[in-house]
Amino acid sequence: MKGSTPQAEWTETSHKHAVTASLFSPAPITMSRVPTANAAFSTVFIEELIRNGITMFYICPGSRSTPLTAAVAKTVKTQKFSGIVRAVSVHDERGAAYRAIGFARKTGRPAVVITSSGTAVGNLYPAIMEAQEDGVPLILLTADRPYEARGTGANQSIDQVKVSATILE
């Protein structure tokens, strides 16, 4: 608009946001309490899974999935979730996925498997197919590469979206 400045627009947007935000209870996490945006997203995402009844996490350690793993570890250690939420470190992705299927078959609730990218995700595919065919709930959190790094020739840069879509069709 004529006469508009970025600062004035930002101020107006902030005022409108404050009115809307006042209608909701405060968020349990703020950016000032976490070191990075990835850590904030991971913490909020894990907490939301738990609020929705997820209590079992199978973690395959990897550098790309560290924010998710750290969020689970932090949550498991809190007094609020002590003894309710469990996390198990599994060094083989196939084993983790099949353990998650076993948990889901026994409890009727999905477990979460957290992995890195590339071949780590490829190792989940047999369990994905079994879970799909048998109607077993399974949640996979895979730490994909940024979009611009997909398909660059390294095994960790496969396009997980396209590969997963072929299995889940």
Instruction: Please name each of the domains of the chain with its CATH number.
Output: 31-167 (3.40.50.970)
Give the CA count within 13 Å in the CB-facing half-sphere of 94.
5
Nearest-CA neighbor of 67 among 91, 45, 49, 88?
Answer: 45
Q: What is the largest CA-CA distance in the chain?
A: 64
So what's the pLDDT on residue 77?
82
Helices (H), the chain: 6-21, 37-51, 66-77, 93-107, 119-122, 125-134, 160-167
So what's the pLDDT on residue 1?
63
> Which 3 state secondary structure label does DSSP give 30?
coil
- The mean predicted confidence, pLDDT, of the chain is 81
Residue 153, by phi and psi: left (phi above 0), alpha (psi -120 to 50) or beta?
A: left
So what's the pLDDT on residue 147?
66
Low-confidence spans in the chain with pLDDT less than 50: 29, 31
Instruction: Please state, in angstroms and rounded to a whole number, the distance separating the CA atoms of residues 28 and 163.
Output: 35
